[in-house]
């Protein structure tokens, strides 16, 4: 009898520990670190810091970029949430937001920095894959 109970006891202990290991640990929300936003999510601060590095901006210029990008991201989010808008109208409004952002950036950046920015944007467009054709 003793030989039969030892394997059964081991099986119960092992299966119990496996179940325990698979259960998520409940921790208070404040103890968990804030999850970082995905890399593709709009982040005005990260974009301002990247351009500061790439364009060698002054601290004054860098401070002015983040509000511009935050405003742009808010406008784009509002536009995308408007489901009643026709695709062509959405495209026109996206272009208007882009033009407005570019205009605001031109008041902060020097002409040389604007040219560098255009060059960076063109190189990013070349490295991105082409969108899939609509079906």
**CA-CA distances (angstroms) from residue 84 to 7, 78, 79, 92, 98?**
66, 12, 10, 15, 21
Average pLDDT over residues 9-19: 53
122: tokens are 């063109």
23: tokens are 């259960």
| pTM (predicted TM-score) | 0.63
Q: Model confidence over 75-113: pLDDT tens digits?
A: 999 999 999 999 999 999 999 999 999 999 999 999 999
Are 102 and 124 within 8 A, CB to CB? no
CA dihedral for 108, 72, 93, 95, sign (positive or negative): positive
Q: Percentage of residues in the chain with pLDDT exceeding 70? A: 64
- pLDDT of the residue at 19: 46
């Amino acid at each position: 009898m003793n030989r039969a109970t030892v394997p059964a006891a081991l099986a119960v202990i092992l299966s119990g520990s496996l179940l325990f290991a698979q259960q998520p640990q409940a921790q208070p929300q404040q103890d968990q670190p804030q999850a970082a936003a995905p890399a593709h999510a709009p982040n005005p601060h990260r974009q301002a810091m990247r351009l500061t590095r790439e364009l060698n901006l002054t601290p004054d210029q860098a401070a002015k970029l983040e509000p511009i990008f935050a405003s742009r991201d808010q406008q784009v989010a509002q536009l995308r949430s408007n489901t009643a808008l026709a695709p062509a109208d959405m495209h026109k409004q996206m272009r208007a937001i882009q033009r407005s952002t570019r205009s605001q950036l031109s008041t902060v950046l020097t002409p040389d920095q604007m040219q560098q920015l255009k060059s960076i944007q063109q190189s990013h467009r070349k490295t991105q894959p082409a969108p899939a054709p609509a079906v």
